[in-house]
Structure 1
Amino acid sequence: MTARIEQIVTSGPVTVDDEVFTAEVNTWVVGDDEAVIVIDPANDAEAVLKAVDGREVMAVVCTNGRDNIVSTVLEVSADEELGDAPILMHRGDRSLWRDYFRRLAKEIDDEELRSLEPDQYLEEGGTFEIAGMQLEVLHTPGFTPGSVSLYGESDGVLFTGGTLWRGRPGAHGDVYPDLHTQLNSITAQFGQLPADTRVLPGGGEETTVGEEADRWESWYSLQQASSDEE
């Protein structure tokens, strides 16, 4: 059985530099009838687990370390019978992870959360497989320092997290934390991919690499506008 891809859309708050935004997030559940991986289990663990529907969660993958993404990882990774699935994230977002769990430790008075770490750190070029789909890790910083995308070459799919959305780079509201780096990530990592590669973003509608490539040059005006506002 080939892997199938299911989408769950949730909405919730995300804090960036002490400013709170409301963000709609795509969670992707990838697998077959027996096992899945969960990509970006944001905001609502119950909704994500409903989509998992009792299948074994092999891994929980965070494409970035923002609080709306990591807020549900413990619930989604836990299984009473099988034990916890590993939580994967890039080391570049370790400080975001630590900030969130230190705040949570204080709020609920659980000191063990202060020392909690992801189970594995994703690295550029690393690969993992689910239901016959092999996914390669692409480090795509900019949205956050440790943002990653996941490329399934044989299946023609690209999970871009906050790096690339339909029609524009991913943002917090209209805020781009490091747009120059983000645009470099998009062009360097995605520019050589087949035009018909499906882009499954961390927010908004599906698109393709080719459709977005036609817009890339225009996005540098966003960078200039951002510089003018500073």
Structure 2
Amino acid sequence: MDARIEQVVTSGKLTLDDTEYDVESNTYLVGDDDEVIVIDPAFDAEAILKEVGEREVMAVLLTDGNEHRLEVVLEVAAAGEEDEENWAPIALHRADRLLWRDYFGRLAKAEEDEDDAKALRALEPDIWLEDGGVFEIGDAQLEIVHTPGHTPGSVSVMSEQLGVLFAGDTLHRGRPGSVGGVYDDLRKQLNSIGALLTPLPKDLRVLPGQGEETTVGEEDSRWETWGALAQENDD
């Protein structure tokens, strides 16, 4: 069956480096009437699973390991299934393993039951994403592109069949992606964006992790102007 894209917008607060930001995040469901892959769940698992409905969640792809994704990823992967054997695999790039371990390590410290705490400390993603890796859903393929900068393990997800690039928080409409205008490694992020956009069709849709969609052509034309932003960030 033909794959389609659905969007769920959720909002909440994200703390980075002891500063709290209000964030509105885009989650995308890619699939058909029977199965979906969830890209970037955030903040509100209930709203996301409501959109999923009775369909089977085949995988949960995280374009980065920031906390607002991790806090709901287990609930979305479970999708109401009590038996962990039936949970959807969670996929994250290995370079964001430290973010994963930090988050679940903090949960483990707050857990009173030692067995539960041990399980949280041992928890790992089911799939380590790699550049060039491919997921299939319906008649569409989702290709992973490693785009470090926003986080070390940030990825984007390209689908030629759907004519879209899921850019996560690597790239937003009109600017490099960020949380609250704060950049972790903007120069590396800009290099990733440039390498990502250059070979792609200019009319390709870009679906970001926050905000409105854009196109490759629109953002490629702006890319060189962001060099000044990198200089400011260095200062």
Question: What's the Cα RMSD here?
Answer: 1.2
Distance 2:111 2:149 in 1: 32
Say yes or no: does 1:163 pair with 2:170: yes
Q: How many residues align?
A: 228
How far 1:190 moved relative to its partner?
A: 1.9
Distance 1:153 1:5 in 2: 13
Preserved contact between residue 36 and residue 57 of structure 2 (Cα < 8 Å): yes
Distance 2:120 2:6 in 1: 30
Distance 1:34 1:131 in 2: 9
How far 1:107 moved relative to its partner?
A: 2.3
Match of residue 196 from structure 1: 203
How far 1:104 moved relative to its partner?
A: 1.3
Match of residue 64 from structure 1: 64
Q: Which of 124, 133, 136 lines up with 1:129 in the alignment? A: 136
Distance 1:142 1:63 in 2: 12
> Where in structure 2 are the equivalents of 1:57-206 lying within 5 Å?
57-78=57-78, 79-80=81-82, 83-109=86-112, 110-111=116-117, 112-206=119-213
Q: Which amino acid counterpart does residue 161 of structure 1 have in structure 2?
A: G
Preserved contact between residue 150 and residue 186 of structure 2 (Cα < 8 Å): yes
Structure 2 unaligned runs (5+)?
none
Match of residue 213 from structure 1: 220
How far 1:12 moved relative to its partner?
A: 1.4
Match of residue 30 from structure 2: 30
Give 3-state SS (helix, strand or coil) of 1:14's partner: strand
Q: Which amino acid counterpart does residue 158 of structure 1 have in structure 2?
A: L
Give 3-state SS (helix, strand or coil) of 1:226's partner: helix
Give 3-state SS (helix, strand or coil) of 1:215's partner: helix
Q: Which amino acid counterpart does residue 59 of structure 2 have in structure 1?
A: A
**CA displacement 1:39-88 (0-9 Å, x = unmatched):** 01100110010010110000001000000011111111112477100000
Give 3-state SS (helix, strand or coil) of 1:27's partner: strand
Give 3-state SS (helix, strand or coil) of 1:7's partner: strand
Match of residue 6 from structure 2: 6
How far 1:34 moved relative to its partner?
A: 0.2
Q: Which amino acid counterpart does residue 159 of structure 2 have in structure 1?
A: G
Preserved contact between residue 28 and residue 39 of structure 2 (Cα < 8 Å): yes
Structure 1 unaligned runs (5+)?
none
Q: Which amino acid counterpart does residue 40 of structure 1 have in structure 2?
A: D
Preserved contact between residue 147 and residue 193 of structure 2 (Cα < 8 Å): yes
Report percent identity of matched pairs: 61
* Consecutive aligned runs of 4 or more in structure 1 exceeding 3 Å deviation: none
Q: Which amino acid counterpart does residue 197 of structure 2 have in structure 1?
A: F
How far 1:131 moved relative to its partner?
A: 1.0
Give 3-state SS (helix, strand or coil) of 1:203's partner: coil
Distance 1:90 1:48 in 2: 22
